[in-house]
Structure 1
Amino acid sequence: MSIDLRTTATTPSAVLHDQASEALIEQVREEGYGVLRGALTPDEVAEINAEAVRLCRGELGEIGSGPAVATTDADADVLRRYLCIHHPHKLSGVIRRAVSHERVVDVLTKVIGPNVKTMQSMLFVKAEGKPGQAWHQDEFFIPTRDRSLTAVWIALDDATVENGCLWVLPGSHRRGVLYPDRDQNDPRFDCSIEAYDFPYSDDDAVPVEVPAGSAVIFNGYLLHRSLPNTGRHGYRRALASHYMSAESPLAWKVPPGAALASWDYRDVALVAGEDPYAYKGTVDLTRPYVRPDKDGGCDR
């Protein structure tokens, strides 16, 4: 049975758009986020979820220091050991295709411009009991020169308040300010830092409850977070990727001694248009790894 997830929360919920319309693009510009319903088909979602099992079993290659998995372990038990896998596109052709999906790229070229590159993907599993992530801005982690950083968060399960959907602070991207950050020990969240001292409260937050296959598109300066999966069973799986204008060098993961002004991180993939810096080539710098979730410590 189909359910309208927009009506399940007690606070105002996100509007879902059925196409890459001007209304969707305007919402991303003005509010910092928007939702494209049906970015992936049910079959495409199912294919990625099946691929996630193969990834977590190590069948596609090594994932950093991921948990040990026995061939006799049930798929559900294997998945529940993971919160998030960074850079799964390095191992999976299925995920690489999703990262450059035509419906996603159609929105990105209207939000960012004709030339778009990607530098990161993340596959969230987030089984019941797994934590969320504190308030943060993606631009804090991936600094761009032209403020073009844009995230696409594709729900692989129906995302609800109960299972830990995204929450956003609409309009918090407009100032283009990166707020202070600090370590946090809140058991609701994973090991990531939290942003604080911003002119918004939790009462201003909007839950982004969306059906599987929907894509949440949001600005790199938008304050957002997620809470734990408090459901009694099941996952809140999602594929999140980050994009920016290919016309801007990427000052990310600057090596010691390198000049920030001249550094250009080149472990990127073009998803639309042309790369003016293609003459620099690309380099395979980053390997897939598992995000720590405080279970066993944040320094592992």
Structure 2
Amino acid sequence: MRQINSIINGKVTQENILFYNEYGFLVAPNLLNKKSIDELNDDAVKIVTGKSGEIEGVLPVEVNDTIEDTLKRYAAIHFPHKVSDVMKKHASCDEIAEVLSKIVSPNVKCLQTMLFMKAPGKKGQSWHQDEYFIPTRDKSLIGAWIALEDADEENGCLWVIPKSHKEGYIRKRIPNENPNFADVDRADIKPYTEKDMIKVEVTEGSVIFFHGYLLHMSLANRSNSRFRRALVGHYSSAETMLPWDQDGRLDFTHDNRDIFMVAGKDPYAHKGTVDLSKPFVRPDVMDFNTEASRKRLQREG
């Protein structure tokens, strides 16, 4: 499967819906305009320079650092919408909401956001399923990957294994030995092989939508001077209850209510919402949701 069925001009067709259900991903070329992308990139600079608020792991700007020097320090920042109205606005913009309401549910909530910088030389994320980290368990979890600049094989675009979401289970995690990946472990993708993988190269402003059970990864940024910035939101149907402790960062709950609505109505509005998640810098060596990291977070309190 080498042809990518695209959303044209932001209008979701029945063919698009069938494609997403069959292959587990969908591309919307140029879904966000240049004004929106420029606004997001400008706001990313404010975030990493500490002008948007306190973020765990963001360091003071050095006197002689250029903006690029500062951006290069960070692979990604989790929950940027907690300090940025710009990030939250675009993660829930009409263009995104329109697609999600057609392929997920008329009622959609956002569970988290992530801002990726991925400077030259930064590693990628190993093969994984988002459902492993965000346990909706009703198969409504979906990511929306907004390209803040062109993403291709050289600077570390996404790769997917089409149809892998249809198996519907969380794959075993095994040690990672690939130097392209920042993770200590990865999903065991057997029996899939290289011939089953496709790269999803996109232009600035395009959005990739992908299923929570879909196997996907990205390789290291091998370019000399190009970043691969992206804003990613994770969403689910508003009907699902979310037993998510954020890999051990929060106390366990049957329904994490640190969410915001993107489309439709919230059937659990009577519960209210809470402000639990704190923005933080993703570590260069990733061990999210491992036994070791959970024990460390428990010790740190």
TM-score in terms of structure 1 length: 0.89
List per-residue Cα deviations over 1:44-71 (Å, max 9, x = no partner). Answer: 1011011111100011111112234225
SS across alignment from 2:164: coil
1:12 aligns with 2:12: no
SS across alignment from 1:106: helix
Relative to structure 2, which stretch is displaced further, 174-183 or 40-49?
174-183
The 5-angstrom pairing of residues 68-87 of structure 1 reads 68-87=60-79
Aligned to 1:27: 19
Aligned to 1:287: 278
Aligned to 1:179: 171
1:250 maps to which of 227, 242, 245: 242
List per-residue Cα deviations over 1:156-178 (Å, max 9, x = no partner). Answer: 11110111000000000011011
1:155 maps to which of 136, 141, 147: 147
Aligned to 1:234: 226
List per-residue Cα deviations over 1:184-219 (Å, max 9, x = no partner). Answer: 243211136310053311221010001010010010
Q: Do the aligned residues in 1 keep the contact of 2:156 with 2:220 (CA within 8 Å)? A: yes
Aligned to 1:200: 192
Q: Do the aligned residues in 1 keep the contact of 2:144 with 2:210 (CA within 8 Å)? A: yes
List per-residue Cα deviations over 1:121-160 (Å, max 9, x = no partner). Answer: 0000001100001100000000113110010001111110
Which 5+ residue runs of structure 1 have no aligned equivalent?
A: 1-10
1:268 aligns with 2:249: no
List per-residue Cα deviations over 1:206-256 (Å, max 9, x = no partner). Answer: 100010100100100000000011011110001111000111111111889
Aligned to 2:289: none
Q: CA deviation at 1:72?
A: 4.0
Taking a change above 3 Å as real, the CA distance of residues 128 and 111 of structure 1, as seen in their structure-2 partners, is same
Counterpart CA distance in 2 for 1:183 and 1:152 is 27
Q: Do the aligned residues in 1 keep the contact of 2:131 with 2:137 (CA within 8 Å)? A: no
Identity of aligned residues (%): 45
> Which residue type is aligned with residue 278 of structure 1?
A
Which 5+ residue runs of structure 2 have no aligned equivalent?
A: 287-291, 297-301
Counterpart CA distance in 1 for 2:229 and 2:252 is 38
Counterpart CA distance in 1 for 2:185 and 2:134 is 14
**Count of aligned pairs between the two proteins:** 286
RMSD (CA atoms): 2.3
Counterpart CA distance in 1 for 2:236 and 2:6 is 23
> Greater helix percent: which structure?
2
> Which residue type is aligned with residue 277 of structure 2?
T
